[in-house]
Structure 1
Amino acid sequence: MEDKLTRIKQLLSSQRFKLTPQRQATVQVLLEHQEDHLSAEDVYLLVKDKAPEIGLATVYRTLELLTELEIVHKMNFGDGVTRYDLRRDEDASHIHHHLVCMNCGAVQEIDYLLQDVEKIVEETFDFSIMDVRLTFQGICSKCKTDPVVQEKYFKHPHHL
């Protein structure tokens, strides 16, 4: 995690930005919650524990800066909530894909399923893929066992 923080600091510096205490607290929260796909409000609430003086506007500005510098991805899964996800060093050119539960909103990452499809598209169409965003919407395994969810989504398929 320290290596990633150091690389982010170097990237900010190379673009003539400083890693202010507020930015560092925001980046630290993103690093600590890499699997959580946090909204700006989620980040703000977690950052407040580290830096109580920070304001929501500062968190928004920091997230926008990190997005512009391609340190984080800005994502919307169709529910009106923008979420932020740190880029992965091992594959900075492609975004991983997601499973989104339509009932509870849980987000799960999948990053291995479409590599062959991307390669086929690039070779067949002589097309250089720069970005891929794919979201599967459905019902997670936890929600599937809920009788209310069963009734809502599986007894009446027209709801889907």
Structure 2
Amino acid sequence: MTDLSRYERQLKEAGLRLTGPRRLILRILTESGDHPDAAEIVQRATARGTRLSLATVYRTMKVLEETGTVERHAFQGGPARFEKADRAHHDHLIDLDTGDVVEFTSPRIEELQRAIAEELGYEIVDHRLELYGRKIRCE
């Protein structure tokens, strides 16, 4: 099943009609390789010649988040951003100067988190790691 058809099924199961604007939101999400916020989704729709309301985007994203189809990220100091939820686990580094979100994975970090939790008597069932930084300028 494609991401697009999965998103469509989730909306139908939530009782929402698959309107033209909602289909466009789903296409934008399917094609994006980044973490767009609601305003960026509206801008991408406008670039395709279609007007979308922020309210439509927010309602659609809320349903997709509630059904586990997308993940919402509230990175410090910025608007909520969205990404597909079916991707392999990864962490995020947020560039404070540009707002870029860099995805990364690190087996060492994962093992360290597991070991710390175990030392404290816990088993990790879920986690998110967000790092905030600025590029190092070489002179």
Between the two proteins, the alignment pairs up a number of residues equal to 137
- Residue type of the alignment partner of 2:28: V
What is the rounded CA distance, in whole Å, between the counterparts of 1:52 and 1:88 in structure 2?
A: 28
- Residue type of the alignment partner of 1:109: E
SS at match of 1:59: helix
Could you tell me which runs of 5 or more consecutive residues in structure 1 were left unpaired when the two chains were aligned.
Answer: 148-160
Could you tell me which runs of 5 or more consecutive residues in structure 2 were left unpaired when the two chains were aligned.
Answer: none
Tell me what 1:154 maps to: none
- 1:98 equivalenced with 2:92 (yes/no): yes
What is the rounded CA distance, in whole Å, between the counterparts of 1:118 and 1:23 in structure 2?
A: 39
Q: CA deviation at 1:122?
A: 6.5
Q: Pick from 123, 135, 139: which aligns with 1:140?
A: 135
Q: CA deviation at 1:19?
A: 2.9
Decide whether aligned partners of structure 1 residues 14 and 111 sit closer, same or farther in structure 2, where only a CA change above 3 A counts: farther
Tell me what 1:23 maps to: 22
Tell me if the contact between 2:114 and 2:123 (Cα under 8 Å) persists in the aligned partners.
Answer: no
With the length of structure 1 as denominator, give the TM-score of the two structures.
Answer: 0.70
Runs of 4+ in 1 over 6 A off after TM superposition: none
Tell me what 2:60 maps to: 62
With the length of structure 2 as denominator, give the TM-score of the two structures.
Answer: 0.79
What's the % identity of the aligned pairs? 26
